[in-house]
Structure 1
Amino acid sequence: MTVHKFLRKSAVSAAIAIGLGLSPAMADNIVFWVNSPLASGPDAPIYAEIKAFEKETGHTVEVQPVAHMEMERNLFVALSGGAGPDVMALDIAWVAGLADAGLIADLSEKSKPFAAEYQAGPLASGRFDQRQYAMPLYTNNVALFVNDRMLKEAGIDKAPANWDEFHKAAVAMTNKDKDTYGLTFGGSRMGAFQLYSFIWENGGDIIDETGKVRVGEPGAVDAVDFLAKLYTENHAMPESVLTAGSWDEVNAPFIQERAGMLISGDWALSALEKGNPKLEFSVHPLPTGKQAATVIGGYNLAINANSSVQDASWQLARWLTGPRSVELMHKYNRLSATVAATTPEAIAALPEKQRPFMQQADAGKARPVVAAWSQIHNEIIANVWDSVLRGKPAKDAMAEAATAIQGLLGQ
């Protein structure tokens, strides 16, 4: 290559890099911990994307897949000891704890010029104490899965679009003699995750943006009461709701065609189709209460606060979460967290059963980003849901939860 061609190629690469929020730099090696489903084999799309990044920037990336169930614990141990990866994939529920511990880098200034490119809910999931600590890699939310045959046999010609229709459909598909139910739902922490959307749809909140604990207020109480009574009074949920502690257990009655509706995310699609290839079901936005809302999940990318390659790490995080993420996540049948993924054209390119999730993306809300969230969810809200299912008045259970959360937060 002539010097002229080399300089011209370098200038083009630099221009592309700057447009992505990157800056030309000396080559660095970046250690990247990624959730293992994204790096399931040598042909996984993430590896081709990494190669493109390496070619464009000159950096090298060492990809290390880590199982979801091991990632959070391994990160806390490694980072607390001054080790760990440079860039890491985080379940959005882990961001606050790692940020509060000072283990991940503050990306506020680096991310500010690009904030408008991301959906509001997923971007907020990477924020702690008004600072941005992680960028959204992909997002998901929960929608309504409906057994089309059961709905039709119940005399209903369209999926429920609001709470009243949702309640009527759940009752109509319940038949004690046939051992069928209107809705399958989770117990403990699984059920807690499913009910958050309904709390927000009812105008309620858990912990608002100012840090005020609001689970004891009518909006939250009434939403929990509405859902619990589908089991305690209408008997429209199977008894498995008391013990269902995994998505497999929540999905089972729907797969077996014993429950006509399921509230879950796009991760359920492959499980349902594998569990019952003949199952005729459709997916719809969540039935709306006082307002539309859906709890978001997904993974973010963060940077080790002690990384010696901060600039290169930011370049990788931006590369994977920026405009290229639409195509990258499409290869995984996952949803990009960028605004570009919400255009009519981008939604139309998705598989039919994935479209409702992106159609309701604007209504997506992140769970409270507080350092103690895992404990609040797994112990306090989970226990509330269990106790209400077993007959405790929702008002009393939520009042106790508010007191417990306030105590945990030192309020």
Structure 2
Amino acid sequence: MKRVFSIFTTFALFGSLLAGCGGGSTAPAGQEGQAQQQAGPQNITFWTTMRESETVPLKELITQFEEQNKDIKVTLEIVPFNEAQNKFRTAAQAGNGPDVIRSEVAWTPEFAKMGLLEPLDNYFKDQDDFLEAPLNYSKWNGKTWSVPEVTDGLALLYNKKLLADAGFTEAPKTMDEFAAVAKKLTNGTDKWGFYHRQTEAYFTLPFVWAFGGGLIDENKQILINTPGAVQGVEFAVKLGKEDKVYPKDIDAANNYQNMNEAFKKGTAAMIFNGPWALSDILTGDQFKDPNNLGIAPIPAGPNGDTGSPVGGHSLAIYAGSKSKDAAYKLIAFLSTKESQAKMAATNGTLPTRKSAYDMPEVKANRMISDFKAVMEKAKNRPVIPEGGQIFASFDPEIQAIYKGDKAPKDGLDTVANAWKGLLGQ
């Protein structure tokens, strides 16, 4: 997901991994030019940004790894997500980075540009088994810098019973259908067809992409104020201002929770949210029967365009590590289809390996399986070193647009100008 919710998160094969790694791992090839490796028993450090509760299956996997690799000891350190980016940057620049870092997807190209990560092209050989969008985040400047661990994205979550009671037997597939369903399920006071998060631009991206807009392309061309992007934001604004299918909620501190609570209580029939939210949503009265929760791809725009912002995390090696082979051996083990399936079944995360979706424990989880269709239509945010900074100027302008202080075109022009400065254009 995005930076706040490390959450939404998708849903073998390391061609030549080190023997004994288990689950299909193999030995890295071509170590010429790499930093000198430690000899003998090795201790490697691994920084994860998972919450403590999420590390239960991870710790079990690390124990298995150590049992299969008696010469490697793993020290796991939990680093709070909102501290990890700066902490790694500072430690790595001082020569004290961990051997393995769990990197949010937007951090990877930044760290790579700074020379803080080890290229993995000589290690990571079975890339065809990974979903395209998460894998894109691992690549920058012609090299591969990480292995996708988990992924996420926004889906259309809907209350099946509320839609069925209104005569809709399936999720809307187009934005026009989406608007029609939302209008029919709204009374304008305490029943809303949709609940839209209006203070974070991330939640408006599905509208931008559905109408043919974009963010920043591979040539660093800025697309956020193109006609399609403007039309998408205008459509989203109209849903609230004129059609009144969602309440005006510009309380930045609470509107994410407000959105989820309305959905859980049944006062909102549809929301955009990711897999990170499912465990909370399923505690709601409306979803005591989990089968009442519908999960569908974002509806398509007039020309068939659609998109959900891809997020997630990947595993990377610190460039200054003296145990790169051992570090990758751990990454390979944690990235097998078996390991990803175990993490998914326990934490509800979305594997990044295609083959993991064929594992019995993943196939048995309807929530994860349904998200695969979402991720197959998802889109990457800009895979550039500056990618993690684009929302600093985007969020305030989106808030101004939904408040009515700025027209969509004016707000998006301001964002485009800010991005030109960010990119040095």
1:384 paired to 2:397: yes
More off after superposition, 264-273 vs 361-370: 361-370
Give the Cα separation in 2 of the matches to 1:335 and 1:176.
35
Give the Cα separation in 2 of the matches to 1:155 and 1:308.
62
How far has the Cα of 1:241 moved from its partner? 4.5
How far has the Cα of 1:35 moved from its partner? 2.1
How far has the Cα of 1:193 moved from its partner? 1.2
Percent sequence identity over aligned pairs: 29
* Residue of structure 2 in register with 1:334 after alignment: 349
* Residue of structure 1 in register with 2:122 after alignment: 109
Mapping for residues 108-257 of structure 1, pairs under 5 Å: 108-111=121-124, 113-177=125-189, 179-189=190-200, 192-241=201-250, 243=252, 247-257=256-266
Q: Equivalent residue of 1:104, what SS?
A: coil
State the one-letter code of the partner of 2:300: T
* Residue of structure 2 in register with 1:51 after alignment: 63
More off after superposition, 348-357 vs 56-65: 348-357
Give the Cα separation in 1 of the matches to 2:43 and 2:379.
35
How far has the Cα of 1:347 moved from its partner? 9.0
* Residue of structure 2 in register with 1:21 after alignment: 26
TM-score of the superposition, structure 2-length normalised?
0.84
How far has the Cα of 1:410 moved from its partner? 0.7
Give the Cα separation in 2 of the matches to 1:120 and 1:166.
27
**Residue pair 2:28, 2:123 contacting (<8 A) in 1 also:** no
How far has the Cα of 1:89 moved from its partner? 0.8
* Residue of structure 2 in register with 1:349 after alignment: 363
**1:255-304 deviation digits (Å, cap 9, x = unpaired):** 23221111011111111122435474322222222234221121111111
* Residue of structure 2 in register with 1:393 after alignment: 407
TM-score of the superposition, structure 1-length normalised?
0.87
Q: Equivalent residue of 2:337, what SS?
A: coil
Give the Cα separation in 2 of the matches to 1:143 and 1:349.
19
Select the residue among 352, 356, 361 that pairs with 2:375: 361
**Residue pair 1:340, 1:346 contacting (<8 A) in 2 also:** no
Select the residue among 391, 402, 405 that pairs with 2:416: 402
How far has the Cα of 1:405 moved from its partner? 0.5
How far has the Cα of 1:333 moved from its partner? 1.9
* Residue of structure 2 in register with 1:77 after alignment: 90
Q: Are the structure 2 counterparts of residues 86 and 249 from structure 1 closer, same or farther at C-alpha, using a change threshold of 3 Å?
A: farther
1:259 paired to 2:271: no
How far has the Cα of 1:245 moved from its partner? 5.6
**Residue pair 1:347, 1:358 contacting (<8 A) in 2 also:** no
Q: Equivalent residue of 1:364, what SS?
A: coil
Q: Are the structure 2 counterparts of residues 371 and 188 from structure 1 closer, same or farther at C-alpha, using a change threshold of 3 Å?
A: farther
Provide the alpha-carbon RMSD of the alignment: 2.6
State the one-letter code of the partner of 2:243: N
Give the Cα separation in 1 of the matches to 2:418 and 2:322.
40
Select the residue among 79, 85, 106 that pairs with 1:93: 106
Q: Equivalent residue of 2:283, what SS?
A: helix
Give the Cα separation in 2 of the matches to 1:223 and 1:380.
19
Q: Equivalent residue of 1:291, what SS?
A: coil
Structure 1 stretches lacking a partner, 5+ long: 1-11
More off after superposition, 149-158 vs 329-338: 149-158
State the one-letter code of the partner of 2:19: A
Give the Cα separation in 2 of the matches to 1:154 and 1:39.
39
How far has the Cα of 1:19 moved from its partner? 5.2
State the one-letter code of the partner of 1:20: S
**1:140-167 deviation digits (Å, cap 9, x = unpaired):** 2221111233323434332211111101
How far has the Cα of 1:354 moved from its partner? 2.7
Give the Cα separation in 2 of the matches to 1:119 and 1:88.
21
* Residue of structure 2 in register with 1:5 after alignment: none
State the one-letter code of the partner of 1:110: Y
**Residue pair 1:133, 1:302 contacting (<8 A) in 2 also:** yes
**1:357-399 deviation digits (Å, cap 9, x = unpaired):** 112322222211222223211x222122112212222122212
How far has the Cα of 1:320 moved from its partner? 1.0
Give the Cα separation in 2 of the matches to 1:341 and 1:292.
25
Q: Are the structure 2 counterparts of residues 387 and 130 from structure 1 closer, same or farther at C-alpha, using a change threshold of 3 Å?
A: farther
Q: Are the structure 2 counterparts of residues 77 and 275 from structure 1 closer, same or farther at C-alpha, using a change threshold of 3 Å?
A: farther
Q: Which has the higher helix share?
A: 1
Q: Are the structure 2 counterparts of residues 67 and 187 from structure 1 closer, same or farther at C-alpha, using a change threshold of 3 Å?
A: same
Give the Cα separation in 2 of the matches to 1:296 and 1:159.
21
Give the Cα separation in 2 of the matches to 1:22 and 1:331.
29
Give the Cα separation in 1 of the matches to 2:237 and 2:25.
47
**1:110-133 deviation digits (Å, cap 9, x = unpaired):** 22x221121111111122233221
Give the Cα separation in 2 of the matches to 1:13 and 1:327.
21
Give the Cα separation in 2 of the matches to 1:14 and 1:396.
58
State the one-letter code of the partner of 1:307: S
Give the Cα separation in 1 of the matches to 2:157 and 2:381.
22
**1:329-351 deviation digits (Å, cap 9, x = unpaired):** 233221210121345x7697142
How far has the Cα of 1:244 moved from its partner? 5.6
Give the Cα separation in 1 of the matches to 2:297 and 2:215.
22
State the one-letter code of the partner of 1:159: A
**Residue pair 1:91, 1:298 contacting (<8 A) in 2 also:** yes
